[in-house]
Amino acid sequence: MKIERINLDNFRNIKKCSLDVSGKQVILKGENGQGKTNLLEAVYLLCYGSSFRTQNLKETIRYSAEYFYLKSEYSDNSGSLRTTEISYDGKEKRIKTDGNEIHDRKELIYSVPCISFSHEDMELVRGEPEYRRRFFDQTMTLYDSVFFDDLRRYKQVLRQRNAALKQNAISLLDVYDEKLAFLAVPLIRAREKVCTSFSAIFPDIYRAVSLEDRDIKIIYRPSWNTEMSEEDIIRKLREQRDTDLRMLTTTGGPHRDRFIISDENGNFVNGASTGQVRLVSLAMRSAQAAFFRQKTASDPLFLIDDVLLELDYKKRSRYLDFLGAYSQAFFTFLPEEKYFGQQCYAEKDETVIYFVRNGDFERQ
């Protein structure tokens, strides 16, 4: 899978352009704030139907414009050329694949599996538990549509139960408890399984790049025990009902699960430097890609946005060696920044380079 061309109209600071991005590596050079990340965000939107930077798509419409429009032409695994289009007018988002409108982004996310490496990934290590839950949920939804459906249904029932709690609609809670328990069991067990498999990959990547002999690991701490049955969870929900009614929210369940990054001294982030936090976040993304390859026997597309700056030259080179195979990769760099260690990918036939200034892209 590889994106061949992308068209952008009124997206962020990009007024209108059509870019040939048919290289295996696409390098975007330029100073900060010129539009490099905006292009990566557009690619992510075309892969997922959502942004990795904001939930409010109005923020992505170019100043003084009334809409944005994005289109990608990509070759699938069979070599066929396909298209994805996304438009947003401030009220309605419309997505088309091969000219046909779709109403569920599930139909989109398996077309071009994409993994984004961004500065915000440091929150995977030092941020609230929600960041790590979302990371592991994304790790599974990249290849498992059943988990995607289970998670979406669980969130829907959770919203309904929370609304009933706020409205003191006690008569509805028994039904929601049963539905929540039914959906919670497969989520908890899937998370436990993925954490175990992920932990067989992640520590080796970190140790190989950092050269630290550190016993780093990820521990899954579910809100409800992984051995609990549906009946056990229903009883638990009823036991905590008074607390939930007082707090006006569901105080236990998969939405409260925690993934803890630890080492021999306890919680990793407590004694970690900024460079170590960055390296752990990079190792998590590389392990996510390796896990995807194991499950699908295919390579994802990478979006790598200014995430190597905190690493010294040697760590950066070692990390890139462990990045792993990809179908295509988009990189952002500052103008004078070295690309890939001693060997510059710009010399390779499969590399496309653009210099970015004020939302304009100049082919190098």
Profile the chain (364 residues) by mean pLDDT over runs of 10 residues. 95 96 94 94 94 92 95 90 95 94 85 90 94 95 91 97 96 96 96 93 89 90 94 96 97 96 90 88 92 92 86 78 86 78 52 94 94
Report the predicted TM-score, pTM, of the whole model to 2 decimal places: 0.89
How many residues are there in the chain? 364
DSSP 206: H
Predicted local confidence at residue 275, as pLDDT: 84
> Residue holding tokens 């539009």?
35
Cβ neighbors of 257 (< 8 A, separation 6 or more) are: 129, 133, 188, 191, 220, 221, 222, 223
CA distances to 127, 140, 141 from 134, in Å: 12, 10, 10
Taking the CA atoms of 119, 283, 208 and 269 in sequence, report the sign of the dihedral they define. Answer: positive
SS3 content of the chain, % helix, strand, coil (to 5): 45, 25, 30
What interhelical angle do 170-199 and 202-210 show, nearest 10? 50
Predicted local confidence at residue 342, as pLDDT: 41
Predicted local confidence at residue 89, as pLDDT: 95
* 29: β partners: 333, 355
- The distance between the two most distant Cα atoms of the chain, rounded to a whole number of Å, is 68
CA distances to 124, 150, 161, 224, 296 from 253, in Å: 21, 14, 12, 6, 29
Predicted local confidence at residue 119, as pLDDT: 86
Query: Can you list the positions of beta strands (E) in the chain?
Result: 2-11, 14-20, 25-29, 68-75, 81-88, 93-97, 100-102, 114-117, 217-221, 258-263, 266-267, 301-305, 328-333, 351-357, 360-363
Instruction: Please give the Cα distance from 84 to 71 (Å, whole number).
Output: 6
- Give residue 80's region: left, alpha or beta (phi > 0; psi -120 to 50): beta
Predicted local confidence at residue 167, as pLDDT: 96
209 by DSSP, 3-state: which? helix
The residue type found at 326 is: Y
Predicted local confidence at residue 29, as pLDDT: 93
